C-alpha cells in the first residue's frame, strides 16, 4: 500500500547535477587496500632477507647464505608468514582503509602493537618447536626493528601520494547520488568524509526540512524521485545515500519505495542525533545492536591490573612506613587526649560506605550530618596535627583501606557523607566520581585542587579533573599521578 507523504517542503530548483567525471583513466578506491597490503607484505619479506644479510655482513663480514644454517628460502617464508599475519591482524581495525592511509594523523601505535605481537608469537612457536636455533637471534631482532621502521615508513611515504591522487581524481571511489537536505549532510562533515574516501557525488536531490506555511504533495516529491531514478539509469552510479531525518519514518519509507527500483545499494546517512550515538562503540546482543552510551570504567583485566598494583604497593609501603607510624602514634598520644586514628564514614565505589582511616589531627571526631571543613588557623587542629596535615602524613593509614579493597592508591578523593549530600545537589555530575574506587591521591589533587573547597566553582573544577581520570584511566596514568603527588607534596603548603 502506497503511503501518502505531505508535510515536507521541497524545492526542485535546489537539485544539483555535477559535470561528468573526466574520462581519463583512474584507479578505483577499492584497489588501494589490496595493493597496499601486497606491497607491505613484499617489503617486509625483503626486509627479512636483507636484515639477515646485513647482520651477518656486520658481525661475520660475510654475505654468503650457503654457509649459514638458514637458507634464503626459509627467510623469505618467515618474512612472508609474519607479514601476512600482521596484515590479517591490522585489517579488521581499518588500518588499510584509504581514509586511514591518507589521514592527516599517522597511525603508529596499532601497527607497532600488532607487529610486536606477531614477533612474540613467532618467537614462541620457534621455541616450542625447537627450531629457534636455525635463526640468528641478532638477525631476527634486526628484522623486528627494521620491519617496524618499514611499516611506518611505507605509510609516511604513500600518504602524500594518496592525497594527491584523490585531489587530482587519479584515484576514484564510489560514484554517489544523495537524496535529502543538502545543508544537513554538508554541515555534518559527510562531504569531507566522502572526499577522503575518494568518493564522487554526481548529483543531489534536495528535500528540505519542515517549513511553516508550506506543504508538499506526494506527486511533487515523486517527480523529484523520478528524476533521480532517470539520472541513475543514465549514469554510472554506484550507491544512493539518503540524508533524511531518522525520526521521520514516513518520509524514509516513502523515498525508499520510489528509489528501490534501482539495482543499487541504498544507505541512510545518520542525522545529527543518530550520528552522536554511532560515534560510540557498538555491541551486539544476539540480533540486537546497542550503542555504548556509558562504558564500564574499568574492564576486568584493567581492574585486575589496578588491584594487583594497589595490593603490592600498599603492602610494601605499610611495611616500610611501620617505624614512622609508631613514632607518629606516640607523638599524637603525647600531644592531646583521644585515639590515635580518626575513623569517618565515606562513600566509596558505587556509593558503598566504608570507614576511612587517618591519623587524628583534631580535637573533634566529626562524623555526622554536619562536618565542617578545616580552615586556616582552625582551633580544632592540634599542634602535631598541623604538621601531619601539611605533610599529608595523616593520610598514610589509608593504605589499610587500600589493602582491605575499599580504596585505591589513585582515584577521586572521598569526602565526608555530609559533603557528598551537599555537592550532589549542587553539581549534577558529582556522583560520577564513584564509578571507580576513591584514592589516597588523585588527578585533581596533583593538578592543584587539594585541600579546602570553599566555593562551588572550585569543587566543580575538582570534579572535572576526577571525571577526566575516570574516563581516561590507564596503568601509566596511575604511575604518573603517584610521581606527581611527590612533587605536589613538596611545593604545596595550602593544607591546614
Q: Is 92 exposed, middle or buried (0-12, 13-18, 19+ CB in 10 A)?
A: exposed
DSSP structure string for 230-280: HHHHHTT--EEEEE--TT-HHHHHHHHHHHTTSSS-EEE---HHHHHHHTS
pLDDT at 400: 95
* DSSP H/E element including 403: helix 398-403
Max intra-chain CA distance, the chain: 96
Mean pLDDT of the chain: 79
Q: How far apart are CA 206 and CA 193, in angstroms?
A: 20
Percent of the chain exceeding pLDDT 90 equals 23
pLDDT band at 365; cut points 50, 70, 90 = low
Highest averaged pLDDT of the listed ranges 130-134, 338-342, 363-367: 338-342
Q: What share of the chain is helix, strand, coil (3-state, %, to 5)?
A: 55, 10, 30
pLDDT at 290: 79
Per DSSP, helices labelled H in 61-189 are: 72-90, 98-101, 109-128, 137-168, 182-187
pLDDT at 65: 54
Cα angle 57, 63, 64; round to 5:
140
pLDDT at 14: 57
pLDDT band at 192; cut points 50, 70, 90 = low
What does the pLDDT average to over 367-385?
A: 69
- First-to-last alpha carbon distance for the chain, in angstroms, is 77
Residue 6 has pLDDT above 60, yes or no: no
Highest averaged pLDDT of the listed ranges 166-175, 191-200, 460-469: 460-469
Per DSSP, the three-state class of 285 is: strand
pLDDT at 217: 47
Q: How far apart are CA 361 and CA 340, in angstroms?
A: 9
- Within 10 angstroms of residue 308's Cβ, the number of other Cβ atoms is 11
Q: How far apart are CA 54 and CA 57, in angstroms?
A: 5
Percent of the chain exceeding pLDDT 70 equals 77
Q: 290: which strand partners?
A: 283
* pLDDT tens digits, one per residue of 111-166: 998 999 999 888 888 777 766 556 677 788 888 999 999 999 999 998 888 878 77
At residue 314, φ and ψ (nearest 5 deg) are: -65, -40
Model confidence, pTM:
0.51
pLDDT band at 182; cut points 50, 70, 90 = low
Residue 191 has pLDDT above 80, yes or no: no
Residue 67 has pLDDT above 60, yes or no: no
pLDDT band at 213; cut points 50, 70, 90 = very low
pLDDT at 287: 73
pLDDT band at 4; cut points 50, 70, 90 = very low
Q: Which residue has the higher pLDDT, 66 or 453?
A: 453
Ranking 206-210, 252-256, 429-433, 461-465 by mean pLDDT, the lowest is 206-210
Residue 325 has pLDDT above 90, yes or no: yes
Pairing mode of beta strands 288-291, 282-285:
antiparallel
Domains in the chain, CATH or no CATH each: 12-26+170-291 (3.40.50), 28-168 (no CATH), 300-491 (no CATH)
Q: Which residue has the higher pLDDT, 298 or 363?
A: 298
Running DSSP on this structure, what letter comes out for residue 132? G
pLDDT band at 196; cut points 50, 70, 90 = low
Q: How far apart are CA 399 and CA 320, in angstroms?
A: 12
Q: Which residue has the higher pLDDT, 308 or 23?
A: 308
Q: Which residue has the higher pLDDT, 105 or 412?
A: 412
Amino acid at each position: 500500500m502506497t503511503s501518502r507523504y505531505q508535510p515536507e517542503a521541497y524545492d526542485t530548483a535546489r537539485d544539483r547535477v555535477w559535470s561528468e567525471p573526466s574520462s581519463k583513466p583512474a584507479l578505483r578506491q577499492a584497489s588501494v587496500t589490496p595493493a597496499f597490503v601486497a606491497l607491505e607484505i613484499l617489503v617486509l619479506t625483503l626486509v627479512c632477507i636483507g636484515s639477515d644479510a646485513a647482520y651477518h655482513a656486520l658481525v661475520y663480514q660475510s654475505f654468503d647464505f650457503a654457509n649459514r644454517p638458514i637458507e634464503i628460502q626459509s627467510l623469505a617464508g618467515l618474512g612472508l608468514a609474519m607479514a601476512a599475519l600482521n596484515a590479517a591482524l591490522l585489517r579488521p581495525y581499518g588500518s588499510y582503509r584509504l581514509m586511514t592511509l591518507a589521514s592527516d594523523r599517522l597511525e603508529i601505535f596499532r601497527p607497532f602493537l600488532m607487529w610486536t605481537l606477531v614477533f612474540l608469537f613467532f618467537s614462541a612457536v620457534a621455541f616450542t618447536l625447537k627450531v629457534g636455533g636455525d635463526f640468528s637471534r641478532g638477525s631476527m631482532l634486526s628484522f623486528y626493528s627494521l620491519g617496524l621502521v618499514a611499516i611506518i615508513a611505507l605509510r609516511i611515504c604513500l600518504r602524500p601520494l594518496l592525497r594527491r591522487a584523490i585531489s587530482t581524481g587519479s584515484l576514484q571511489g564510489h560514484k554517489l547520488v544523495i537524496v535529502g537536505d543538502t545543508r544537513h549532510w554538508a554541515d555534518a562533515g559527510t562531504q569531507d568524509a566522502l572526499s577522503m574516501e575518494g568518493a564522487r557525488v554526481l548529483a543531489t536531490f534536495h528535500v528540505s526540512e519542515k517549513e511553516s506555511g508550506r506543504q508538499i504533495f506526494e506527486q511533487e516529491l515523486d517527480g523529484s524521485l523520478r528524476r533521480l531514478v532517470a539520472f541513475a539509469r543514465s549514469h554510472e552510479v554506484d550507491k544512493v545515500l539518503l540524508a533524511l531525518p531518522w525520526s521521520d519514518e514516513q518520509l524514509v519509507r516513502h523515498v525508499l519505495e520510489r528509489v528501490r527500483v534501482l539495482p543499487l545499494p541504498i544507505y541512510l546517512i545518520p542525522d545529527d542525533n543518530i550520528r552522536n550515538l554511532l560515534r560510540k562503540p557498538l555491541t551486539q546482543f544476539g540480533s540486537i545492536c546497542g550503542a555504548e552510551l556509558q562504558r564500564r570504567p574499568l574492564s576486568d583485566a584493567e581492574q585486575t591490573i589496578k588491584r594487583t598494583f594497589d595490593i603490592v604497593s600498599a603492602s610494601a609501603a605499610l611495611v616500610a612506613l611501620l617505624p614512622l607510624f609508631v613514632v607518629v602514634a606516640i607523638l599524637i598520644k603525647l600531644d592531646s587526649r583521644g585515639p590515635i586514628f580518626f575513623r569517618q564514614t565515606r562513600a566509596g565505589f558505587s556509593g558503598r560506605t566504608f570507614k576511612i582511616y587517618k591519623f587524628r589531627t583534631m580535637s573533634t571526631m566529626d562524623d555526622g550530618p554536619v562536618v565542617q571543613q578545616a580552615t586556616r588557623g582552625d582551633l580544632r587542629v592540634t599542634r602535631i596535627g598541623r604538621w601531619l596535615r601539611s605533610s599529608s602524613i595523616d593520610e598514610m593509614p589509608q593504605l589499610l583501606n587500600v589493602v582491605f579493597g575499599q580504596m585505591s592508591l589513585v582515584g577521586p578523593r572521598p569526602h565526608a557523607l555530609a559533603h557528598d549530600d551537599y555537592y550532589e545537589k549542587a553539581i549534577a555530575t558529582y556522583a560520577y566520581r564513584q564509578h571507580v574506587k576513591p584514592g589516597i591521591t588523585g588527578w585533581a589533587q596533583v593538578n592543584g585542587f587539594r585541600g579546602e573547597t570553599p566555593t562551588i566553582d572550585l569543587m566543580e573544577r575538582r570534579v572535572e579533573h576526577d571525571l577526566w581520570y575516570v574516563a581516561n584511566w590507564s596503568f601509566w596514568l596511575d604511575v604518573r599521578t603517584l610521581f606527581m603527588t611527590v612533587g605536589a607534596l613538596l611545593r604545596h603548603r595550602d593544607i591546614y
